[in-house]
Every structure is written in C-alpha cells, then in structure tokens.
Amino acid sequence: MVCCCITEKFQLIYGRSPAWAARAPGRIEFIGNHTDYNGGPVIGAAINRYVSVAIAPRADGVWNFYSDFTGHLATLPAHCISRQEGELSWLNYPLGVLDAFPAFGFKRPEGFDLLTMSDLPAGSGLSSSAALELATALAFLSLTGQSIERARLVQLARHAENQFVGVPCGILDQGVSAFGKVNHLVWIDCLLQTFATVPLPADVHFWIFNTHTKHALIDGMYAERHHECMQAAHALDVPLLVHATPAQVEAARPGLSASQFKRARHVVEEIARVEQCIDALRGGDLVTTGRLLTASHRSSQCLFENSTTELDFLVDQLTRNPSVYGARLSGGGFGGSVMALTQSSFKESDALRIQQSYEVQFDVEPEGFHLLTANGAAPI
C-alpha cells in the first residue's frame, strides 16, 4: 500500500493516485572513509530518513518528474535521456537509472508520472543520491512488472552514479541503503561485493550534525581523490590499494608524490581500522570502537584531506563530551555531516550546546538530530 503522505502529494500534482511507491533510506558511513572504491571493507548503517518515490503509468510516451524538494516539474519525451544542469540536475539520478536499465537486461517504462519526497537533507553526507537511485529503480521495476535481486539492484544504482551522473563512487552508499537492517550495521567487502550485517551492541546511539557546508561530490574533489588513489596503486604495482600493506606504502614513499603517499597511507590504515572495528563491535567494546572512529576522522583530516574546518570543530567539541564514544565525518567529506556514536546519557541538551558553540564560531547553526537504524530499500 502506498503511504498516505506521498499519495496526497501525488494527487495534488498529477490529479490521480500513484500505482506504486518505494523508498530507500539514507546511510551513515560508520567507518571506512574512501576505502570502497579502493577495494577495501567498509561499515555503514541505514538510517530512518528516506527518499520516497511514487509513480503511475502514462500512455502518451511522456516522462514526468516532480521533486517535492525542489518544487519543479520536468517533462521529457520517453527514452530522451540526456544529462541535466542547474535546477534540474537532480534528474540525473533517475535518468541514470533509466539509462542503465538495458545494460542490466531490463525494459524501460514507456511513460509515467513520478514524484519524489525526502526527509534526508541533501548535501549532508547521508547519501540522498543513492537513496534516490534505489527508490526510483524499484519504482520503475514495479511499474513494468519486473523484479531484481538486491545485490544486482546495488550494482545497477552504482552504475547509474558512476557512468551517468559521473561520480566515481564505490559501492558503500547503494549497498548500505539496500541491505540495511534495524539494530544492525552493514559490512561490505567491496572487492568481492559481498554484504553482511553486524549486530549493534545495546544502548548505542547515533547523532548527526549537518554543517550545511557544501557537499557537491560531482564538482571535482571526490574525483581528484579517486584519481590520486588509482595513481598510488599503479605506483605500488597493485590493482587496488586494498592489496597494499602499510610497509609497502612506506617503502614506496620516495617514488610517490606527497599527496599520493598520504592518500595511500590513509586507505591502508583505514582498512585496518575497519577490521579492528568489527572485532570491537563483536566483543561489545564500544570504547575501542569510538577510539577507532575518531582516529578515522583524524586520518581523513590530515592524510586524505577531505575534512573541513567546520567538520573538525564538531569532532573536537563532541569528543570532549564524556558521553561520546567517538566522532568522525560521515561520507565523502568536503563538507556535510559529522556522526557521533554516543551513550544514552548524551541528550538533546548536549547536542544543543554543541550547536550553539558551532554557531558562535561560524555564524550558522548546524542541524543536529538523533537517528535510528532502518531496514533497506523496499516497496511501500
């Protein structure tokens, strides 16, 4: 059954009810910063903030797209797939999915009205783009009477982002959003593209602080880091950095540029932190888990250089609070959000003090919210 909120909005925009709907959660990158496209492991959590998509068929060969976030309606001829710019750039995510359909053996819908709604803040590092890709893929498949295995859905959505949108992301975002499970983290072996869930110890909480600073991966910084990692792997004579050891990276330092060395060192050490974090979680050791999270941020800050002054300030403030196990940037970096893993004794009053300190420092109040884990992408 399509949920009433998106049904009412769909009726308001299109004058009729949707036939199908789906939603996909945002995600927290728990640990494993930029390890995914380097073939390493990563851990994430699907969260109870979503992108929802409703759809109904049309018989006139028209594709209509409406975003509740932007308030814009776009009309395209069916199968007219080309990159969009400006206020319509959000269309590149569903268009990328439609572009990928034939390559994955699926037929595209001939005509439709589509509406998207979201309570995920765009540009916050919570992967609204992957959630949009997964939700639209499920909606298009439902509309055309097709089905897909979850792992293949992840591959299709990632293909859309890599090949059409142009972001050379790994499989983290789509994988966590697809395989999420309440009260669990999602562990991904990005080399083998296998997925597993890891139970969360009792009485742990996630807090997210959105800096409202720029998080536009497509504008080059993400691609630059990707390129530096690939260059470092080539210099080390390995296919991907997951195949390198810290000793190899150190030995190759004279032949690497300063940036290549730092990127490679971050990645190989971050891969080790992910494995250590799995062991700590399975043992219920949240103190060690928190220490690893904060160490991950410091490596992002100093070696991968994808943090910002705003993100560093929040991590500094949070880690001074005795109810915080650890904190780190969550996502691609270059703005976005900080995640804190906390005890239940961390309250809204603590979050408010952090926000007020940030506002004094940067003259803007960050958005802070408490999140729960969620199940993965599915029809609604």
> Domain spans of the chain?
4-198, 202-371
CA dihedral over 218, 50, 42, 336, signed as positive or negative = positive
67: Cα separation from own chain's centroid: 19
Tokens of 181: 């499970």
Longest dimension (CA), the chain: 66
Q: What is the pLDDT of residue 21?
A: 97
Q: 29 near 337, Cβ under 8 Å?
A: no
Fold classified for 202-371:
Alpha-Beta Plaits (3.30.70)
Q: What is the pLDDT of residue 1?
A: 41
Residue tagged active-site, from 36, 113, 173, 350: 173
Q: What is the pLDDT of residue 219?
A: 60
Instruction: Note if 119 is an active site residue.
Output: no
Q: 156 near 97, Cβ under 8 Å?
A: yes
Q: How far apart are CA 85 and CA 77, in angstroms?
A: 17
HSE on the CB side for 15, CA within 13 Å?
1
The CATH number of the domain covering residues in 4-198:
3.30.230.10
- 333 three-class SS: coil
Task: State the 10-residue block means of pLDDT for the chain, 380 residues long.
Answer: 80 97 96 95 96 97 94 93 92 97 98 95 75 97 97 97 90 95 96 94 92 67 92 98 97 97 98 97 96 98 96 98 97 89 96 97 93 95
Q: How far apart are CA 133 and CA 197, in angstroms?
A: 22
